[in-house]
Structure 1
Amino acid sequence: MKYSILFTAALTGSFFMAHAQQAKPEDTEIWEPIPKVVTPGSAFRDAPSDAIKLFDGKNLDQWVQVDDQSPAKWDVKNDILTVNKHYGNIETKQKFTNYQLHIEWKVPASITGSGQARGNSGIFLASIGKGDDGYELQVLDSYNNKTYVNGMAGSIYKQAIPLANPGRMPGQWQTYDVIWTAPTFNEDGTVKTTAHVTVFFNGVLVENNFELKGPTKYIGKPEYIKHGPSPIKLQAHGDKSEPLSYRNIWVREL
């Protein structure tokens, strides 16, 4: 019995040694599919070659008014898009599912007010109805401006507190870089996969693959509603502070 065990162990060891000797680096190399070539922007934050330019400073051809789908009527001047609260929210003509978004925004240097009434706007990563329906990434002056933390800049409104507050002072341009993974639904309307979002605010990670509980709501708990590809919406908030400005908006479908 003793010799049989020794023989079996030796045989097993020889097998694994021979197997290891047969393994090659090439065994774990993957050659296809080959990733598509994307030319990066010539400068940091410039749109890469496969991006869809939603606003490049020239016009609002990619946008419509949310309420009646007429051409967007916000103000465009000197390569800057400024919120016009008289006309309400605007959204993209094109609908999206999963994407990478870059957007820059600025609170006026002369901003007044406090809390939520200080440069309030929002980026709805998926607009699923009129008004403020959808999934909102909050835009707000959060530089020495106290408010509820799930409503400050970089928050997923009323759901996710930002991991940090890298907000710049009013009058300076700020950037959001977003990875949005849309929810999916079964035929009966139940949730198949939830929505997730990652947000970099001025280059600082503030939302790390956060799992949303549903569309964001001002009052009440979030609850998913079945929908498909959706526009990206910019909010014309009703507060009395001076309006926000946006520039350099582009998106890459994923």
Structure 2
Amino acid sequence: MKHSLSIALLALAATEPASAWAQAATPTDPKATEQWEPVPRTVMPGNREGAPPADAVVLFDGRDLSQWETSKDHSAARWKVHDGVVTVDKVTGNIQTRQHFRNYQLHLEWQVPRDVTGEGQARGNSGVFLASTGPGDEGYEIQILDSWQNKTYVNGQAASVYKQAAPLVNAMRPPGEWQTYDIVWSAPVFATDGTLKSPAYVTLFHNGVLVQNHTQLTGETLYIGKPTYKPYAEAAIKLQAHGDPSPPISFRNIWVRPLD
């Protein structure tokens, strides 16, 4: 009986794929798990915190808005540049980048004025649209708002994916202080017939705190109704001039690293 069992076990082992035995073997050479190529390219980081790395596209350096245009008619952006910052002009409306992007890392800094007024959504409201696909407010919005001791719906506070995902925590500084967004945007992928192959994802750090962790989006931002996807290849990054009556917010130090 023991002899027959041994023969049966040997026969079973012979039918197992060689890979199963290879995986069970313990490697003895540490070089077997070393990867030498391809060698990552070198990118010089900024010389201070928040400064653009060497491969970044600088969208606003405090001097002019040459990288931006008015969203509604593609004319030159007319927000006010002063003292190294740019302040929203609610009359001329939203502005967007002249250059279009797909996947990217985005850094921007924004400030709610110290004398901000209003409450809820009418208090320092703006937004950054990560892929603006039309002349209106179409796109994927990360909310900008004064969320320092200002109650509103949680998927509409600062650092939310507007009307889709509340931030993990509220990392807001008080009005008058500068806020920082560091965003990684993974664009949706569409088939040739326009159907969605894979959704968009966003990761966001607000003032260095993780507030969106590879959050999956269900479509473009809508104020009313459920989000839906519309196919696009590349799109502009847009900053919102919200129509609330509170004093306008300001931006500085905006740069992007294309990741395609």
Provide the TM-score with structure 1 as the length reference.
0.93
Distance 2:130 2:50 in 1: 19
Distance 2:26 2:152 in 1: 64
Q: How does 1:21-36 map to 2 (within 5 A)?
A: 23-36=28-41
Provide the TM-score with structure 2 as the length reference.
0.91
Aligned to 1:137: 142
Q: How much has 1:21 moved relative to structure 2? A: 7.1
Which of 193, 201, 205 is the equivalent residue of 1:196?
201
Q: SS at 1:134's partner residue?
A: coil
1:108 and 2:88 equivalent? Answer: no
Q: SS at 1:100's partner residue?
A: strand
Distance 1:34 1:229 in 2: 28
Distance 1:192 1:85 in 2: 37
1:67 and 2:68 equivalent? Answer: no
Aligned to 2:103: 98
Distance 2:46 2:8 in 1: 62
Matched to 2:2, the amino acid is K
Which of 95, 114, 118 is the equivalent residue of 2:123?
118
Cα distance change, pair 21–96 in 1 and its aligned pair in 2 (3 A): closer
Distance 2:224 2:9 in 1: 69
Matched to 2:220, the amino acid is P
Aligned to 2:229: 224
Aligned to 1:233: 238
Number of residue pairs aligned between Structure 1 and Structure 2? 251
Q: How does 1:44-55 map to 2 (within 5 A)?
A: 44-55=49-60
Structure 1 residues 211-242: Cα deviation after superposition (integer angstroms, max 9, x where no partner): 10100110111111111100000000001100
Q: How much has 1:191 moved relative to structure 2? A: 0.4
Distance 1:193 1:32 in 2: 29
Matched to 1:228, the amino acid is A
Matched to 2:162, the amino acid is Y
Distance 2:104 2:160 in 1: 19
Q: How much has 1:26 moved relative to structure 2? A: 1.7
Which of 160, 165, 168 is the equivalent residue of 2:170?
165
Cα distance change, pair 22–57 in 1 and its aligned pair in 2 (3 A): closer
Q: How much has 1:132 moved relative to structure 2? A: 1.0
Matched to 1:134, the amino acid is G
More displaced 10-residue stretch of structure 1: 25-34 or 85-94: 25-34
Structure 1 residues 192-228: Cα deviation after superposition (integer angstroms, max 9, x where no partner): 1100000001111111111101001101111111111
Distance 2:29 2:139 in 1: 51
Distance 1:215 1:114 in 2: 26
Q: SS at 1:225's partner residue?
A: coil
1:89 and 2:94 equivalent? Answer: yes
CA RMSD of aligned residues (A): 2.0
Q: SS at 2:176's partner residue?
A: coil
Q: How much has 1:9 moved relative to structure 2? A: 7.4
1:154 and 2:164 equivalent? Answer: no
Structure 1 residues 144-201: Cα deviation after superposition (integer angstroms, max 9, x where no partner): 0001111000100000011000100000000000000001111221101100000001
Structure 1 residues 59-93: Cα deviation after superposition (integer angstroms, max 9, x where no partner): 11110001111111111011101101111000001
Q: SS at 2:121's partner residue?
A: helix
Structure 1 residues 113-150: Cα deviation after superposition (integer angstroms, max 9, x where no partner): 00000000000000011121100000000000001111
Q: How much has 1:2 moved relative to structure 2? A: 2.4
5+ residue gaps, structure 1: none
5+ residue gaps, structure 2: none
Matched to 1:152, the amino acid is Q
Q: Identity of aligned pairs, percent?
A: 56
Matched to 2:95, the amino acid is I
1:127 and 2:128 equivalent? Answer: no
